[in-house]
Amino acid sequence: MNNYLNKGAVLLISGPSGCGKSSLLKEVYKTIKDYYFSISTTTRLPRDGEKDGVDYHFVSKNEFENDIHEGHFLEHAIVHGNYYGTSLKPIISALNTGKLVIFDIDVQGHRIVKQKLSDITTSVFITTPSLEELKHRLTNRGTDSEDIISKRLNNATNEIEQLGKYDYFIINDNLEEASKLLTSIANAAQAKTKLFDIDNIIKSWH
């Protein structure tokens, strides 16, 4: 029966910048060991402390557009004036070795991934208790200008309208409780019946 366990699956999370997705994932990683975090490729400049190949793959606009032409992206979009995209090769490799592939992706990317990988994807929308709380967190973070914060808040207002298209919803008001809930969803994502060869399982069971 062990042959039926640890099938490759996708856990896709979305939510506004500043809602605490990264903090929640750090807690999830303490429990979910066999995973691959899909690192996005972007044309925006690195922020202080960000490293190429760790936080993002940072490339030029020309490099990005060439990879679009070559069909190397699962999805790509323009967010706040910069390209963001997801490379296919490491995702396929991780799925083939039974890993849980974790995406932190915007609502545009969610729509595309669900179209292409719907059977193996479980999606979660994460946000703050209110728009006012999100503004408070973004302001206190101190990494963005007032103009950027305004754009992020406007984007968040549009993103929340897509909530009903996700499988699960988490309000990150308490890190411990929210991380436990996300960990439970991550575990469940790898037990979806669509991941398995049902006919073969039934025959073997008999």
Task: Spell out the domain ranges in the chain.
Answer: 2-205
Residue 16 pLDDT: 93
Residue 171 pLDDT: 96
Give residue-wise pLDDT tens across range 72-109: 888 888 988 999 988 888 888 899 899 999 999 889 88
CATH class of the domain comprising 2-205: alpha beta
Q: What distance in Å separates the CA atoms of residue 57 and residue 40, rounded to the nearest whole number?
A: 6
State the pTM of this model: 0.79
Q: What is the DSSP string of 12-48?
A: EEE--TTS-HHHHHHHHHTT--SEEE-PPEESSPPPT
Confidence of residue 2 (pLDDT cuts 50, 70, 90): very low
Q: Is the pLDDT of residue 5 over 70?
A: no
In whole numbers, what is the pLDDT of the chain averaged over residues? 89
